[in-house]
Amino acid sequence: MNRPFNFSAGPAAMPEEVLQQAGAEIANWHGSGMGVMEMSHRGKEFISIYEAAERDFRELMAVPEDFHILFMQGGGWGENAIVPMNLSQGGAIDFVVTGGWSQKSFKEAGKYGQTALAASGEAGGFTDIPDPATWQLRPDARYLHICSNETVHGVEFQTLPDLKALGSSAPLVVDVSSHVASRPIDWSRVGLAYAGAQKNLGPAGLTLVVVRKDLVGQALTICPSAFNYELVAKNDSMFNTPPTYAIYMAGLVFQWLKRQGGIAAVEARNIEKARLLYDFIDASPFYVNRVAPAHRSRMNVPFFLADESRNDDFLAGAKAAGLLQLKGHKSVGGMRASLYNAMPLEGVKALLAYMREFELRHA
């Protein structure tokens, strides 16, 4: 079956074999006589699905035992409030803003704590990451928040900052939504990481939260019970009914990642995919990417035609060539190719072939 290549920034392409497996067992999971959507979340069938998903993610990402893995709802926008309700205690929260997502997180957290910018890339149009040595870290900060991959602006931390080395004892909170499971995470530098599932993990409506156990248990009283990490952790993510089908789909993706050789193997392919596209863009006068090379995202590659009057032509031709959802985010314009784990190398090659052909036709 020949499917088009889907470059959506999220919800995004999923591995075809995962979709086919889900389709085959949609009304009868493993002879249970029930589809996964129809199972009580407290029954042994679903519990086995949940436990396998938790175990596989922990193994894939080498999450240490002193971290909870929570399966929640509300996405990144939800966590923008849920994190400060759980961790801020109404105190100081520092932010490094490197694009649209960390900016949203910064604004939302102001409802729950004393927020301040430690650094911002806004003056440069979010094409760079301010050097951690210049960050203004407050000694009383309850945590420091970053977004380690900015989906809209295509800016990625290639290394997580080492706050201890910068003289801070604040835990690092990281929004990893759009590059989770695309590369390893150095958990020794992390207090909490969260990810909306709809980019690299599964369907929209599931949020994964990985939080160091000692940070849990200090929620503000106005924190809704359903979003209180302590209650969620104590109940193995079943304090309320979890998004069971999305957990099942994420679990199938985790199994697929293991079959791909695990995160190291997947990362190697992601490096190769991104290198091909950036090298091509940099070598062409027809296309441009404005992000500082050291901070370019492997997952989300925004680019522009030098002549933007050809944007609509480019998108129409791409669609006809089986290359879907390449339009850039409205706040940035131009194009964006998202190269999540499920995007095969062949998809990137097909995109390059089309870009080359379009350039030859119009240059």
Quick one: which segment of 164-172, 196-204, 271-279, 345-353 binds a copy of itself (CB under 8 A)? 196-204
The answer to whether 240 is a known ligand-binding residue is: yes
Nearest to 7 by CA among 362, 331, 302: 302
- Say which residues have a Cβ less than 8 Å from residue 174's Cβ, sequence separation at least 6: 145, 146, 147, 148, 160, 185, 190, 192, 193, 194
CA distance 153 to 118: 19
The answer to whether 198 is a known ligand-binding residue is: yes
Quick one: which segment of 1-9, 121-129, 258-266, 304-312 binds a copy of itself (CB under 8 A)? 1-9
**29, 56, 175, 273: which is the annotated catalytic residue?**
175
Is there binding between residue 77 and a copy of itself (CB under 8 A)? Answer: yes
Smallest distance, a copy of itself to C-beta of residue 15, A: 10
Query: Tokens 């939260």 — which residue?
Result: 209
Q: Which of 41, 189, 234, 290 binds a copy of itself (CB under 8 A)?
A: 41
The answer to whether 101 is a known ligand-binding residue is: yes
Is there binding between residue 34 and a copy of itself (CB under 8 A)? Answer: yes
Is there binding between residue 149 and a copy of itself (CB under 8 A)? Answer: no
Alpha helices of the chain — where are they, by DSSP H?
16-24, 44-60, 75-87, 100-109, 229-234, 244-259, 262-283, 311-320, 345-362
Is there binding between residue 317 and a copy of itself (CB under 8 A)? Answer: no
Is there binding between residue 221 and a copy of itself (CB under 8 A)? Answer: yes
Decide: residue 30, CB within 10 A, 0-12 exposed, 13-18 middle, 19+ buried: exposed
Choose between 6 and 168: whose C-beta lies nearer to a copy of itself. Answer: 6
Q: Which of 61, 69, 81, 326 binds a copy of itself (CB under 8 A)?
A: 81
**94, 101, 273, 327: which is the annotated catalytic residue?**
101
Catalytic-residue membership of 199: yes
Q: Which of 100, 202, 302, 328 binds a copy of itself (CB under 8 A)?
A: 202
Smallest distance, a copy of itself to C-beta of residue 6, A: 6
CA distance 255 to 17: 11
Catalytic-residue membership of 258: no
CA distance 280 to 291: 15
Smallest distance, a copy of itself to C-beta of residue 213, A: 23
Decide: residue 136, CB within 10 A, 0-12 exposed, 13-18 middle, 19+ buried: exposed
Smallest distance, a copy of itself to C-beta of residue 132, A: 29
Is there binding between residue 203 and a copy of itself (CB under 8 A)? Answer: yes
Choose between 189 and 319: whose C-beta lies nearer to a copy of itself. Answer: 319
CA distance 220 to 84: 9
CA distance 87 to 341: 31
The answer to whether 21 is a known ligand-binding residue is: no
- Say which residues have a Cβ less than 8 Å from residue 245's Cβ, sequence separation at least 6: 36, 37, 203
Is there binding between residue 224 and a copy of itself (CB under 8 A)? Answer: yes
Smallest distance, a copy of itself to C-beta of residue 14, A: 6
Strands lying side by side in the sheet with 192-196: 67-72, 207-212, 192-196, 172-175, 141-147, 92-97, 114-120
Catalytic-residue membership of 175: yes
CA distance 189 to 176: 13
CA distance 168 to 191: 13
Query: Tokens 């190269």 — which residue?
Result: 339
Smallest distance, a copy of itself to C-beta of residue 241, A: 5
The answer to whether 128 is a known ligand-binding residue is: no
Which tokens is 276 given? Answer: 């091909």
189 touches 60 (CB < 8 A) = no
Q: Which of 54, 75, 156, 328 binds a copy of itself (CB under 8 A)?
A: 75
Is there binding between residue 351 and a copy of itself (CB under 8 A)? Answer: no
Give catalytic residue positions.
101, 175, 199
- Contacts to a copy of itself by CB under 8 A: 1, 3-4, 6, 8-14, 16, 19-20, 22-24, 26-28, 33-35, 37-41, 43, 73-78, 80-82, 85, 108, 111-112, 196, 198, 202-206, 221-222, 224-227, 239-246, 249, 322, 324-325
What residues form the annotated binding site for pyridoxal 5'-phosphate? Answer: 101, 151, 175, 198, 240-241
